[in-house]
Structure 1
Amino acid sequence: MLDTSNPNSYEYHTKHLQVNILGGLKTNKMESLRVTLSVQKPESYNILRHSLDLYNDNQVEKFTRKIAERLEIGTSVARRTLQDLTKELENYRFLLVEKETIASQPFFKELSATETKTAETFLKAKNLLKRTNDLIGKFGVIGEETNRQTMYLIFTSRKTNNPLHCISLGSSGTGKTHLQSKVSELIPEEDKVEITVLSANAFYYFNRTELQHKLILIEDLDGAESVLYPLRELQSKKRITKTVVHKDAKGDTKTIHLTVEGPVSVAGCTTQESIYEDNSNRSFLLYIDESEEQDKKIMDYQRLISA
């Protein structure tokens, strides 16, 4: 039996030979089965290590003779062991591919009947916006009553066909990033994409619908300057397209189109409003409260916690 408990060294032991598959398996090339094997007889220190493609009959036959010669064992035993090992690895690789396919599928949380009923009760009660705003405050946003509520409504608009966008503006250290990060924690993980640094080209290699109805969070617009143009196109046209040259399996050069679909909701922070004028005219501008009253609210909260 194939033992895959150690992902970096699978074990396949028989009565006559002990085989270790070093480095595991790669799942990106299904037409070959290239592995690095470590082969020895039980309780022997004579070890044979070799890299080969188990789908290449010539390589397998040469390796069979080498095992027989080096380890002093019959070629029929070595050949049968390699054939059985190939079948085991082949089946296990199919399982790995299936797991990777399932893992790459988008996750959607399904609410239970109790959760749905609780949510509907909350939504139908009076003063929904006020109660929601109070809960955001209890979650860890002190003050900023208008900004936090506006930001939350903008983030929830990602589900609509025409999402809203926002940019938080203020001096350094006034809490722009904290406000955005705390409010974004109220959004499900599978519905948001956080960007610190990302190249402009990388944006075109998302799956076609991977960004649809997602919230894109930029911690600092200065660090994501290269992606601001494709982001603006996603905001305005709700899709971006790039044409690239690609070689197919036969080596022929073809032109293909990379398209990423929106719509998306975009939020970012900056201290420099004028530099990002093209982004600002597509977004709500949320100016951080830098008043003494806001400072007092925060310090009172800190004193309450420490007490």
Structure 2
Amino acid sequence: EDNSNRSFLLYIDESEEQDTRIMHYQRRASAGKLNEQEEIEARELLKNTQRVLKPIKVINPYAEYLELPQSVFKPRRTNSHYLQFINAITFYKQYQRESKVDTQTGEMYIETTVEDIEEANELITEVLLRKSDTITGACRNYLEELKKYLTKENQTTFTAIEIRKRLKVKKTTQWRYHKQLLENYYIKTVQIKGEKLYRYEVINPNEYKELEEAISKSLQECITKINSSTVPNRSTSKTEQLTKTKTTN
């Protein structure tokens, strides 16, 4: 929990699609069909891109229009992370930005654009979704796979042993997941007449999708506010400043 408060957590993609991609890559590597030189060049390009970046201040003129959804856990810290993430995107695009000079301090800087914010929102939606969740990432993955199984089998209830066999989950691991899900009201126990085993039922199969839509809507509303606003120009570009200096001389 402490890590989730202080940082953006990266989760391993444990989906079947990712497993398929990894195994396909492993088979191609074993068959000697990978272009190793192309991979080396890609790594070198990334290294060189990092080397040419220069220290320069980033100012986000739209920062006051950016508000996170109320559902985000620890919004104060997450808000700071969100703004820093946008700044990082602008920083990496410094050679695509016009350098400006602060008229009061003379300090050079670059400005965040609306496109930078849109890219940040697209990349950060999954992170905000996870930070808004009340269960752990592993438990969430289990719940989503469980929902897929129930939809595929056209079922509304399930037994623990049934899901353990289908999803290949250890009994102790599943017990921990079910404890979280019951405590946070994601699933409930139901007793079917004539059956000895307890069955479980997912309370709201669409809750995660609804949360994702709420976060996406909130981020889009920020962009709408920005597009309908007028942000004042607080500086002159480096080119304009040099021109004015020459004219004065």
Question: Of Structure 1 and Structure 2, which has the larger fraction of its residues in helix?
Answer: 2
TM norm structure 1: 0.21
Larger Rg: 1
TM norm structure 2: 0.24
Question: Of Structure 1 and Structure 2, which has the larger fraction of its residues in strand?
Answer: 1
